[in-house]
Amino acid sequence: MSASSRHVVITGFMGAGKTTVARALARKIFCAVIDLDDLIRERTGRTPQEIIDEDGEHAFREHEGEALRATLETSEPCVIALGGGAWIIESNRALVNKHEAFTVWLDAPFELCWRRVTGANIQRPFARDREKAILLYDKRREFYAQATLRVEVSEGKDPETVAAEIVCMLSEVAIKMNENLRN
């Protein structure tokens, strides 16, 4: 499979900037962008928050897995912004890897994520308690680290810069893939 025919999947903790960076990246590489949480909202008529609060996390993860599968299977190569917990589920990682997508971890410090999630006007069920959120952040890092690429996100670094870094990394990977194909 050539580099340009692959999806690019963006992962990272809540508040890492997945949606914004995914949009900026899609503009730069001229493809569509799909935000998994938005897609779940379209498919179910409810927000992830509502689903988690009303039906529980397990039900939400099922919707999430289905939305991811549908996107990977049916859409043209695009940029997919995951919700912060999607990449933690083994079957989702397996699905993404089966489709040979490029995976990118936006590695942002906890304090930055926390400031963003508490400052946002949407309520996140897994960001209601700071101590619990720190535990979740620490627990999830080993899974995020399984993404193929890691990009550091910091306070002063804007989404356009992060997206530009990803473009550079993706072209390096694509060049290596082409070299391997030739040899």
Q: Interface with ligand S3P by CB under 6 A: which residues?
A: 14, 18, 37, 48-49, 83-85, 124-126
Nearer to ligand S3P, 3 or 60 (CB): 60
* Burial letters 142-174, b for 16+ CB under 10 A, else e: ebbeebebebebeeeeebeebbebbeebbeeee
CA distances (Å), origin 183, targets 144, 157, 176: 31, 38, 11
Give the C-alpha separation, 63 to 12, whole Å: 19
For the bound state, the minimum distance from the C-beta of residue 83 to ligand S3P, rounded and expressed in Å, comes to 2
Least distance from C-beta 2 to ligand S3P, angstroms? 30
Contact 33, 79 (CB under 8 A): yes
Task: Report which residue's Cβ sits closest to ligand S3P.
Answer: 83
Residue 116 or residue 174: which is nearer to ligand S3P going by CB? 116
Nearer to ligand S3P, 3 or 14 (CB): 14
- Under a CB-based contact definition with an 8 Å cutoff, are residues 137 and 42 in contact? no
Q: Pick the closer one to ligand S3P by CB: 84 or 159.
A: 84
Phi first, then psi, for residue 155 (nearest 5°) are -45, -50
Q: Report the nearest approach of ligand S3P to the CB of residue 115 (Å).
A: 14
Q: How far is the CB of 111 from ligand S3P (least distance, A)?
A: 16
Q: 77 or 83: whose CB is closer to ligand S3P?
A: 83
Query: Hey, how many other C-beta atoms are within 10 angstroms of the C-beta on 12?
Result: 25
State in angstroms the smallest separation of the CB of 38 from ligand S3P: 10
